[in-house]
Amino acid sequence: MPESTLEFGFTLKARDGMARRGTLTTAWGKVETPVFMPVGTAATVKGMMPESLASTGASIILANTYHLMLRPGAERVARLGGVRKMMGWDGPLLTDSGGFQVMSLGPLRKLDEDGVTFKSHLDGSQHRLTPERSTEIQYLLDATITMAFDECTPFPATKSVAAESMALSMRWAKRSRVAYQPRTGYGQFGIVQGSIFSDLRAESVAALEDIDFEGYAVGGLAVGEGQEAMFETLEATTPLMEDRKPRYLMGVGKPSDLVGGVARGIDMFDCVLPTRSGRTGQGFTRRGPVNLKNARHAEDPRPLDEACNCPVCTRFSRAYIHHLFKAEEVLSLMLLSWHNIYYYQDLMREMQRAIDAGRFVDFEASFHAMQAQGDIDPL
Amino acid sequence: MPESTLEFGFTLKARDGMARRGTLTTAWGKVETPVFMPVGTAATVKGMMPESLASTGASIILANTYHLMLRPGAERVARLGGVRKMMGWDGPLLTDSGGFQVMSLGPLRKLDEDGVTFKSHLDGSQHRLTPERSTEIQYLLDATITMAFDECTPFPATKSVAAESMALSMRWAKRSRVAYQPRTGYGQFGIVQGSIFSDLRAESVAALEDIDFEGYAVGGLAVGEGQEAMFETLEATTPLMEDRKPRYLMGVGKPSDLVGGVARGIDMFDCVLPTRSGRTGQGFTRRGPVNLKNARHAEDPRPLDEACNCPVCTRFSRAYIHHLFKAEEVLSLMLLSWHNIYYYQDLMREMQRAIDAGRFVDFEASFHAMQAQGDIDPL
């Protein structure tokens, strides 16, 4: 693949309270933050053509180490030129470390100091991930941003369990950093752990900054602790994180999670929610989520969100999308995934503008007021 | 919806042997013939955005009366502005009469002189189609081209059964014509029946021309008689059909069926094959069909068809499409349906050019020689 001469970096351009506006520069293009990264688990954002994805304003996407190492295999992806080339995505790509998915396997995995042995959910075959192998796989996938291999601490966890788990993740972070092969315009992020315990989070931040990554993620949240505890943990964590580096809240979230995350100093997010909801008939709107399968939409000629300029809302009615879901047509999920990703990108654009203009508090208030209105009345 | 002032009509521009080049003019645009119409059964060509469909060169599509009358219902579609408006398709639309699908229901349907009573495959509810109701439904769907209601004669049929069935279809054709409400730029086609019996086909052609439709279809083929018998029936039928009106071979077919159909004077085709094959992993190429699920493609970086300029072949490898099928990703069928429809449109464009240049016989020979080569060798 062609070499890039763009250096990896993060420029903070504006702030408004704790909220930040920045530009992340990578080998494969610039990313305006705060940013939402759509998830392309198996090297495809489900139901989206890469250019449709780009047309929503998505500027960086995520792919999953766990899924791709099992199928089609990291070495195979490398021979095909990496995930970006294979899937036709021109922008930067972030891969997770596989840690989160492997931990979710429960009894199918066994953890030791060196790493994790687990059985594939596809065929039961045995695999092993270590900080070194996870980092190597992400190199083979050609990840623009590589994540350190960590243990995602289960929730709830006692403080001593959380402390042990965090300490292991910090040892693994060090090994991940050693295993990382730097390339121009590429970077590696460490992951802050410590469950909901602020002193553990502080300890984790310090340990990672000692290692010195290109950016830092907050991990182990959105795992059942609830929005309030998540926000409290962020409030205890982000003020301790290096100001000049990007901050990424992993696996989050609902629109209100993104707004609250930005308010608490987060720059980057990823979540399967826009596409997963799109497949089940849930559309996100400025007035909250709407279930398009509901019979009330069967003859509604209005768009899903009248304020939305996406290719779905400008051309298709709620009635048509409802029909497509009833008929189990694949276009149903294509349209709703497209709209939902566009809505998420719109939300990020609105937050960027609000921070630029120093009116993030007003934005937050009007966002919540709109969401609280609920869906438009039936005709 | 806006009124059109374009008159419905067919202009024959060139011929080469029995093959014809024409332009079909409709309220919603011109159609260069010979033409292939992708099938949008339930008001969506499966897995395709309307603009993606248009970008392949598709200029007219088909929708199914049977499916749409059951879901979402013809009156509901009418309230939503018709199929074209509902699904965002700007070009002309042809609807079948429901006859073929209803006949396929077997024991679920009961035929009498007046029409057919049948049970929905969706919920078992009872419905009735008559020439009058089928024509009314197609009006409600806003079909640019309405098809006469007919009985698709089962194959094989004795001559007396075929004769009775054809005579019934001719009585129904007359009633369909009476029920038809003309609109500027819209038309109605009669359907020639008679199984594989050339004298019955001749009788059917004469009966329909007495009624005087805007175009004529050859029905009751591609129902198990085989390509040879289909071609023989065409050879006995198309020379009898009015020269100045379009001829449509319903439900056909494979690429070689289209080439043979054009060679025998057919102007219009429709078939679910490009999209149905796309969903099962079969891609059409200049060198014949290819099964992308086959392991031989797992690391093949080449496009499906190296001579194809579609958005799939210019950007994605066989290896990636193979991976998408293995991972059961929805993008697999999106990509392959897109390519297949593009391939079919390319084939029609090549045939149009060959007829224009008076070299259709050469085209046919090179088409068959290429198809006979079989797929490219593995790397």
pTM, entire model:
0.97
pLDDT digits (tens), chain B, 379 positions: 556 678 999 999 999 999 999 999 999 999 999 999 999 999 999 999 999 999 999 999 999 999 999 999 999 999 999 999 999 999 999 999 998 999 888 888 999 999 999 999 999 999 999 999 999 999 999 999 999 999 999 999 999 999 999 999 999 999 999 999 999 999 999 999 999 999 999 999 999 999 999 999 999 999 999 999 999 999 999 999 999 999 999 999 999 999 999 999 999 999 999 999 999 999 999 999 999 999 999 999 999 999 999 999 999 999 999 999 999 999 999 999 999 999 999 999 999 999 999 999 999 999 999 999 999 999 8
**CA distance to partner chain A, nearest, from residue B49 (Å):** 7
Residue B3: what pLDDT?
A: 63
Q: Which one of A297, A323, A336 makes the best mutation probe of the B interface by having the most chain B beta carbons within 10 Å? A: A323
Q: What is the ipTM of this complex?
A: 0.98
Residues of A in Cβ contact (< 8 Å) with B324: 42, 44
Active site (catalytic) residues of B: 96, 270
Segment holding B20, helix H or strand E: strand B19-26
* Mean pLDDT taken over chain A: 97
Enumerate chain A positions whose Cβ falls within 8 A of a Cβ in B: 42-44, 46-49, 67, 71-72, 76, 79-81, 86-88, 298-299, 301, 311, 315-317, 319-320, 323-324, 326-327, 329-331, 333-334
Task: Report whether pLDDT(A350) > 60.
Answer: yes
Residue A108: what pLDDT?
A: 86
Query: Residue A221 is encoded by which pair of tokens?
Result: 């949240």
The 10s digit of each residue's pLDDT in A284-302 is 999 999 999 999 999 999 9
Q: State how far the Cα of A190 lies from the Cα of B254, in Å rounded to an integer.
A: 55
Cβ contacts of A211 within 8 Å, gap of 6 or more: A173, A174, A177, A190
Q: Count of CB atoms within 10 A of residue B360's CB? A: 25
Could you say which of B48, B49, B323 has the minimum Cβ distance to residue A72? Answer: B323
Name the closest residue on chain A to residue B302, using Cα atoms: A80
Could you say which of B44, B86, B329 has the minimum Cβ distance to residue A329? Answer: B44
Q: Which residues pair with A270 in a beta bridge?
A: A37
Q: Do B46 and A324 touch (CB under 8 A)?
A: no
- Mean pLDDT over A246-253 rounds to 98
- What sign does the CA torsion over A143, A148, A153, A155 have? negative
Residue A252: what pLDDT?
A: 98
- What percent of chain A has a predicted confidence (pLDDT) above 70? 99
Fill in the DSSP letter of residue B328: T
- Mean pLDDT over A3-21 rounds to 93
Segment holding A124, helix H or strand E: none
Could you say which of A81, A316, A329 has the minimum Cβ distance to residue B88? Answer: A316
Name the closest residue on chain A to residue B89, using Cα atoms: A315
Q: Which one of B49, B84, B123 makes the best mutation probe of the A interface by having the most chain A beta carbons within 10 Å? A: B49
Task: Report whether pLDDT(A1) > 60.
Answer: no
Q: State how far the Cα of A344 lies from the Cα of A254, in Å rounded to an integer.
A: 9
Q: How many CA atoms lie within 13 A of A278 on its CB side?
A: 27
Residue A346: what pLDDT?
A: 98
Q: Which one of A80, A141, A338 makes the best mutation probe of the B interface by having the most chain B beta carbons within 10 Å? A: A80
Residues of B in Cβ contact (< 8 Å) with A323: 42-43, 71-72, 86
**CA distance to partner chain B, nearest, from residue A367 (Å):** 31
Q: State how far the Cα of A130 lies from the Cα of B209, in Å rounded to an integer.
A: 77
Task: Report whether pLDDT(A2) > 90.
Answer: no
**CA distance to partner chain B, nearest, from residue A85 (Å):** 9
Q: Which of A16, A150, A270, A305 is catalytic?
A: A270
Q: Which of A16, A96, A150, A267 is catalytic?
A: A96
**CA distance to partner chain B, nearest, from residue A203 (Å):** 40
Give one DSSP letter per residue of A322-344, joined into a string. HHHHHTT-HHHHHHHHHHHHHHH
Q: Do B71 and A44 touch (CB under 8 A)?
A: no
Query: Residue B179 is encoded by which pair of tokens?
Result: 């029920």
Cβ contacts of B119 within 8 Å, gap of 6 or more: B105, B108, B109, B125, B126, B127
Name the closest residue on chain B to residue A42, using Cα atoms: B327
Residue A104: what pLDDT?
A: 87
The model's confidence at residue A360, banded by pLDDT at 50, 70 and 90, is: very high
Residues of A in Cβ contact (< 8 Å) with B67: 327
Cβ contacts of A250 within 8 Å, gap of 6 or more: A96, A100, A191, A217, A218, A219, A221, A222, A270
The 10s digit of each residue's pLDDT in A19-56 is 999 999 999 999 999 999 999 999 999 999 999 999 99
Segment holding B273, helix H or strand E: helix B273-280
Give one DSSP letter per residue of B32-84, joined into a string. EESEEEEB-TTSS-TT--HHHHHHTT---EEE-HHHHHHTT-HHHHHHTTHHH
The 10s digit of each residue's pLDDT in A110-127 is 999 999 999 999 999 999
Domains in chain A: ranges and CATH:
9-271 (3.20.20.105), 281-371 (no CATH)
Could you say which of B46, B315, B327 has the minimum Cβ distance to residue A329? Answer: B46
Q: Do B72 and A329 touch (CB under 8 A)?
A: no
Instruction: For tokens 């000629």, name the residue.
Output: A301
Residue A3: what pLDDT?
A: 63
